[in-house]
Amino acid sequence: MSSTTYTKRLVERHCRKALSDRKILVLIGTRQTGKSTLARQLISRVPDHERLVLNLDDPFLRDHLVQGEQALVRQMEEK
């Protein structure tokens, strides 16, 4: 789903509310349902230095999450 065909959905309002109440939002769902597009829309107004986006389709990230959050933080700091 490209950003040019993005259709605002009811879930976006709920996600924006959740983000105003807390700092972390996890989007999960089946493939090709617009999770990445929704995430891009939600963070489009957040400055780069205030956001961290993790795509768990990346086997490297998934493996490090399994090993624990400290290993992930060390790897992210090395980048």
Q: Per-residue pLDDT tens for 39-64?
A: 988 989 888 888 888 888 889 888 87
Domain ranges of the chain: 1-46, 54-79
- Residue 31 clears pLDDT 70, i.e. is over it: yes
- Residue 4 clears pLDDT 80, i.e. is over it: no
Q: How many CB atoms lie within 10 A of CB 36?
A: 14
At 20 the pLDDT is 86
The rounded Cα 58 to chain-centroid distance in angstroms is 13
Of 5, 78, 3, whose CA–CA distance to 44 is shortest?
3
- Residue 3 clears pLDDT 70, i.e. is over it: no
Mean pLDDT on 24-40: 87
